[in-house]
Structure 1
Amino acid sequence: MAPTDRPLLAVLIDADNVPARHARKIMREVQSIGEPALRRVYGDWSNESLKGWKDPIHALGLVAHQETANSRGKNATDIGLVIHAMDILHSGRFDAFVIVSSDSDFTALVNRLREEGLTVYGIGEAKTNEALRNVYNRFILIENIPDPDTPISTKPKGKAAKALPLFREALEKIDSEDGWFNLGQIGQAIQARHPDFDSRSFGFAKLSALVAALDALETRKDGNRLFVRLKE
Structure 2
Amino acid sequence: MRVFLIDADNLSSPAWVDEAFQALETAEGSLAVRRAYGSAENLKGLADTLRTWAIRPFVNLSLSKNTTDIALAADAMAFACQQPAPAMIVIGSGDADFVPLVVRLRERGIQVVCVSEASKMAPEAVPAYDRVLYVGHAASARRASPSPAPAAAPAKA
Q: TM-score range by the shorter chain?
A: 0.7 to 0.9
Paired residue for 2:133? 140
2:104 to 104, 108, 112: 112
* Runs of 4+ displaced beyond 6 Å: none
State the TM-score, normalized to the length of structure 2: 0.81
Task: Tell me the secondary structure at the aligned position of residue 61 of structure 2.
Answer: coil
Count of residue pairs brought into register by the alignment: 140
Paired residue for 1:122? 114
Task: Tell me the secondary structure at the aligned position of residue 40 of structure 1.
Answer: strand
State the TM-score, normalized to the length of structure 1: 0.56
Whole-Å Cα distance in 2 between the matches of residues 42 and 50 of structure 1? 8
Q: What is the Cα-based RMSD across aligned positions, in Å?
A: 1.9
- More helix by proportion, 1 or 2? 1
Whole-Å Cα distance in 2 between the matches of residues 117 and 78 of structure 1? 22
Q: How does 1:1-232 map to 2 (within 5 A)?
A: 8-18=1-11, 19-31=13-25, 32-45=27-40, 47=41, 49-70=42-63, 72=64, 74-93=65-84, 94-127=86-119, 128-143=121-136, 144-145=139-140, 191=145, 193-194=146-147
Pick closer, same or farther for the CA change 1:50–1:64 going to 2, 3 Å: closer
Task: Tell me the secondary structure at the aligned position of residue 57 of structure 1.
Answer: helix
Whole-Å Cα distance in 2 between the matches of residues 140 and 25 of structure 1? 10
Assess if the C-alpha contact under 8 Å between 1:20 and 1:56 holds in 2. Answer: yes
Which protein has the larger Cα radius of gyration, Structure 1 or Structure 2? 1
Aligned-pair identity (%): 31
Instruction: Name structure 2 gaps, 5 residues minimum.
Output: 149-157
Task: Tell me the secondary structure at the aligned position of residue 91 of structure 1.
Answer: coil
Paired residue for 1:222? none
Instruction: Name structure 1 gaps, 5 residues minimum.
Output: 1-7, 147-189, 196-232
